Structure 1
Amino acid sequence: MVDNEAGPERSINLHFSPEIMAGTYANFANVSFSDYEFTITFARVDHEVEEQEIPGVVVSRMNLSPQFAAELSVALQDAVGRYSTQQGIRNLPESDA
């Protein structure tokens, strides 16, 4: 992490409990916002159900400042772009040369 202001390079040292490190699976997200914050609700839903109402359970909810939501959006776009590039390289046909 490089501070945009003049100063030394800094890094963040994060520690995880085993429960947090295990992570939580979600296959659905809903994003809402107000004048003050963005809220992302993550859920696990059963897409194989053919009924009108799809069952699901909320697994996490995050409230973010607008500035952090914008920074997260840029970081996600960057990560998805790098992922797509990596997958594209993996899927190139083999060359006989």
Structure 2
Amino acid sequence: MDSGERERHFNLHTTPEVMAGVYANFATVSHSDYEFTLTFSRVDHEVDEDEVPGVVVTRVSMSPQAMRELMDAMDDNWSKWRTTEGIKGLPEIKDRPDFS
């Protein structure tokens, strides 16, 4: 951050219903010249038919700049999650000194 830039903090509010979120197991992304749209759906993957039933649970449209920032944040979080998942399977070190 430049010395002339100030640090900004977001103070976002929500309702309990929005905070609870929605479940989606399928997503699509589309775009126009001006925005990207993410459509999140819940579909029934267990159906063995050509047409899979589902319901859209939410849609989010954003500017290309916001989409780039979202992709960067998702990439960062995916990397952190993969690292955490990777170390879960490592054996604990025996004879490790106990500093408690």
Residue 61 (structure 1) aligns with:
59
Residue 81 (structure 1) aligns with:
79
* Aligned CA distance change for structure 1 residues 5 and 45 (closer, same or farther; 3 Å): farther
Aligned-partner Cα distance in 1 for 2:83–2:72: 17
AA at the equivalent of 1:85: T
Residue 98 (structure 2) aligns with:
none
Residue 95 (structure 1) aligns with:
93
AA at the equivalent of 2:30: S
Identity of aligned residues (%): 55
Q: CA deviation at 1:4?
A: 5.7
SS state at 1:29 partner: strand
Per-residue CA deviation, residues 21-62 of structure 1 (Å, 9 max, x unaligned), is 110000100000011100100000011111111100000001
Unaligned ranges ≥5, structure 1: none
AA at the equivalent of 1:73: M
The number of equivalent residue pairs is: 95
What do you get for the CA RMSD once the two structures are aligned?
Answer: 1.5
SS state at 2:61 partner: strand
Q: CA deviation at 1:93?
A: 2.4
TM-score, normalised to structure 2's length? Answer: 0.87
Match of 1:52 among 50, 57, 63: 50
Greater mean alpha carbon deviation, residues 8-17 or residues 82-91: 8-17
Unaligned ranges ≥5, structure 2: 96-100
* Aligned CA distance change for structure 1 residues 5 and 38 (closer, same or farther; 3 Å): farther
TM-score, normalised to structure 1's length? Answer: 0.89
